[in-house]
Structure 1
Amino acid sequence: MTSLDDLPLRNDLRGQRPYGAPQLRVPVALNVNENTHPIPEAVAHDIVAAVARAILTVNRYPDREFTTLRESLAGYLGHGLTADNIWAANGSNEVLQQILQAFGGPGRTLLGFVPTYSMYPILAAGTVTGWIAAERDADYEISPATAAEQVRSNAPDVVFLCSPNNPTGTPLSLETIESVYDATDAMVVVDEAYAEFAPDGTPSALTLLPGRERLIVSRTMSKAFAFAGVRLGYLAADPAVTDALRLVRLPYHLSALTQGAATAALAHADEMLAMVDDIRQQRDRLVIELKRLGYVPHRTASNFVLFGGVDDPKAVFEALLAEGILVRDPGIENHLRVSVGTKPETTAFLDALERLGTPQTGRPGPNRLEP
């Protein structure tokens, strides 16, 4: 049988590994930051009806400009945005890929602050864009001074800022974003995939868009909207940016079914986002309980918690898996990451972790109170 080494693969892709988290069937899957809450039934019926209507049109190509969807996304985001400011694709990964196709490429570089979303260097490799791994401050923070210095010294063509950061959950201040923008002539992309999980009143980078034609804010419906299986990511930017992305997008890249489902979901935004408060509550519970068990959870504004103090991450990962609970080993020494689940899922994870014993003593921790 032919192996990968037998094929005329691009030299720069040899030895690379594809993105991948374990896809295992377990009772409690908390490893890929999905929204584990189901879509409300009444909303699901409306989405199904929208998809059914779209099915009747699939003998024709879909609206290449996905105008209705862009108008709906602009209405959801607010901030005075219009359809001209909006772009969408099959998940935010494709949005980011198209940005690199337009503004990266051979001889150009992308800078990100590590540890960060593991797809960034993979997208860079796929678009033949050089990857620059910039450093963070202590506890995975990025101050305005650190950000500006790293950008000035590396002179990238594109900067990705993950806000809040994956896999650490670290929030990012608007001051840091502004410092990066002012320190470079590069395209600055703020990846706000988890923005809806931030505390109420947290300002979005969307507020910085006016007058900043090189600033892009990327979002997704995968997380807060519980739409991971639909694959719909989008961005807001100056209309010139969306014009640039039209040069690299594939024809009719958003299917009629995707457009119909996403537009219907946005019409029920309030109901779709009603589960966010419960997710925040369980996230805060995880932080409190992980501390009590002797672990070191990091500051997070997302739907997951990175926690340190894990003496043997592989052993803990396997022990949890043996109990039907799947978490994520992010490759950070002495750390694991757990997505926020429903209350029963969160309880199952905490109960299993408690049975393993506290990291300092190996003995069961004290009984905890249910929220």
Structure 2
Amino acid sequence: MATESQQLYYKKLQSILKELPWYVKEYIDHKQRKLSTASLLNYCLDYKIFFNWIVSEQLFSGPIKDIPLSLLETLKAQQVEGFLYSLKYELNNKDITINRKLSALKSLFNYLQNIAENSDLEPYIHRNVMAKIEFNELNLNLETIANKMEGKILLGDEYENFRKFVAQDYGELVKDNKKLWNFYQVNRERDTAIISFILGSGLRLSEVVNLNIDDIDYVKNSARVIRKGNKEQYVYFSKIAMDDLEEYLKIRESRYEVEKQNKALFVAAAVGPKGKSRRLTPRSIEKLVEKYAKAFGKPSLSVHKLRHSFATRYHTEINDVPKLRRQLGHSSIQTTMIYTHIRNQDLKIAVDQMDIPEPEPEGKTDE
């Protein structure tokens, strides 16, 4: 059953598909079983930028949805390089962002040339210009990435101090501001549970947003999550996170006036006299993390940096890259290897506070 955020992404996806050529919709339909709706939406946003560029360069006159396959087949490599040039110097995209957009285009063109076929069993296009275009070289190695990350995550005592700040100290900071103090008192348990849950599991923002009450195993301290590619997996979280979650659950139903049919784990209060409590949105969680991070004195913190903070501690305490890869849901072990390059003497302080149950043998978990 689709969650509220998945339904929202689906509606946005269907809306933007109406603006794009028919063969893009066919490609998206082909990829729906393999990619999340959020990923497909990002693909379509990238395609819209590309097709709008085609019109702006006067390579086609008319709505972008009418751009024919024949035009794609006759694009020159120099023209595509011009598009990538505009991404960098006109839209200020970084090389890694340009690579992502190019990857989306390569995937579409590959489908049109090697997978899709017309009624005569011929491919949609015979010439694939994207196959000639190379990705930007990214000079950052794992150690460089790790060093850049190191100053933006929680290390040593900061890990527990930030959780404690959300649970208690922020209230002292804003006690003279009645509006901020009241808002904090209403959401203190919920916000603490969210921060603690990310710090104690390393879940992605979308995975936290989509959690339902029934997804939590209160005996094994694990949560059922839908990872990238719509893959179901059970992920462990810390005992501290469970304690904070249970404190929140004691007040969730009464304080937020949650209706029984609302199974969302993390909810927002109803808005207006006839409003209903609702699942917290990704942006709402991002904003609450930003609020506490700024007040804590570490404004660089984000949901993703909290995930990095968890991964760094996990690697330090357990030192098992394959297990960490599974916990984080990485498709490539190279991504997980970043955390083996973060070097900071304060990390040893975190060991005694680390409280993550040893995962069961792989065969006993639900992949």
After TM superposition, is the score higher than 0.5?
no
Instruction: Looking at secondary structure, tell me which structure has more strand per residue.
Output: 1
- Please identify the structure whose Cα radius of gyration is greater: 2
TM-score range, shorter chain: under 0.3
Structure 1 length-normalised TM: 0.25
The structure that is helix-richer by fraction is 2
